[in-house]
């Protein structure tokens, strides 16, 4: 089995692949203070709680990270605890097959390149990936599968937190759908502004990007991913498909392209 690890700023997503299928998956909080030993215990505990996973050996590792401190510790995990297991860490020099058409390709996060690879593999280009994480990112892939650029907006959770901190009479709220668009109290008003405001943001940005990406904007597939995607799916009219494990699928594809013989 292949263990894939996507370290985001807020959450880390793990997936265990049996061939092309996700056999098991987990989400944990991203904590830069965790040591390699703590991470190893956490990984082994998660996998050890599932009989099917426990009986199958991890035969490969694929990792991408937006948090350098965590990536450093994960390198140590692969060395100390999975030393005989082939490992791929997505970083400069690793083959992804994605041509990055940016002013400075090294600026683009590894997870965004991996998402572009997976989206093109699953749905073809042109396409747009909307990833609902700490930030909401929009990534454009042309018909040839090239990464051509994107947009970055504040994420849903950090926007809610900012309102609670900076608003004198506002507070943190549950991210849930309100009874009506026109809120009847402060909580519902904030929920409405967040939910429908972000849905409108998604639709507006996607429509503008699609017009730049293709002669016929209707040819552009829009794929949503990320932990907060389900909150907006029912309200953003431009999203065509929800693929919750898009980054993990991309990591599997990167691993297959590089086919290591020993841990990095």
Positions marked active-site: 111
Phi, psi at residue 102, to the nearest 5°? Answer: -120, 160
Q: Residue 74 and residue 80: Cα distance in Å, rounded?
A: 10
Q: Residue 71 and residue 62: Cα distance in Å, rounded?
A: 12
Sign of the C-alpha dihedral, residues 88, 90, 92, 97?
A: positive
Q: Which residues pair with 223 in a beta bridge?
A: 129, 241
Q: Which residues of 189-208 are buried (b: 16+ CB within 10 A; e: fewer)?
A: bbbbbbbbebbebbbebbee
Q: Residue 96 and residue 112: Cα distance in Å, rounded?
A: 11
Q: What angle do CA 163, 10, 14 make, to 5 degrees?
A: 150
Q: Residue 211 and residue 206: Cα distance in Å, rounded?
A: 9
Q: Residue 128 and residue 114: Cα distance in Å, rounded?
A: 13
Helix (H) or strand (E) segment spanning residue 149: strand 147-154
Phi, psi at residue 23, to the nearest 5°? Answer: -80, -35
């Amino acid at each position: 089995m292949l263990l894939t690890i996507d370290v985001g700023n807020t959450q880390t997503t793990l997936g265990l692949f049996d061939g092309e299928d996700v056999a098991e998956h987990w989400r944990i909080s991203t904590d830069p203070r965790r040591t390699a030993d703590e991470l190893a215990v956490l990984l082994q505990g998660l996998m050890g709680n599932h009989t099917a996973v426990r009986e199958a050996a991890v035969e490969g590792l694929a990792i991408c990270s937006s948090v350098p401190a965590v990536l450093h510790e994960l390198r140590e995990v692969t060395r100390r605890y999975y030393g005989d297991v082939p490992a791929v860490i997505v970083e400069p020099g690793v083959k992804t097959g994605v041509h990055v058409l940016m002013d400075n390709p090294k600026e683009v996060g590894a997870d965004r390149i991996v998402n572009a690879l997976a989206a093109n593999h699953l749905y073809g280009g042109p396409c747009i990936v909307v990833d609902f994480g700490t930030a909401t990112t929009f990534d454009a892939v042309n018909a040839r599968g090239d990464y051509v650029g994107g947009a970055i907006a504040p994420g849903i959770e950090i926007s809610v937190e900012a309102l609670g901190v900076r608003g004198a009479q506002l507070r943190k709220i549950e991210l849930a759908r309100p009874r009506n668009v026109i809120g009847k109290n402060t909580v519902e008003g904030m929920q409405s502004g967040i939910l429908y405001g972000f849905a409108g943001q998604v639709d507006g940005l996607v429509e503008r990007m699609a017009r730049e990406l293709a002669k016929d904007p209707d040819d552009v597939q829009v794929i949503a991913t990320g932990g907060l995607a389900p909150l907006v799916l029912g309200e953003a009219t431009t999203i065509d498909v929800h693929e919750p494990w898009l980054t993990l699928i991309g990591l599997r594809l990167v691993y297959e392209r590089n086919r290591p013989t020993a841990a990095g």
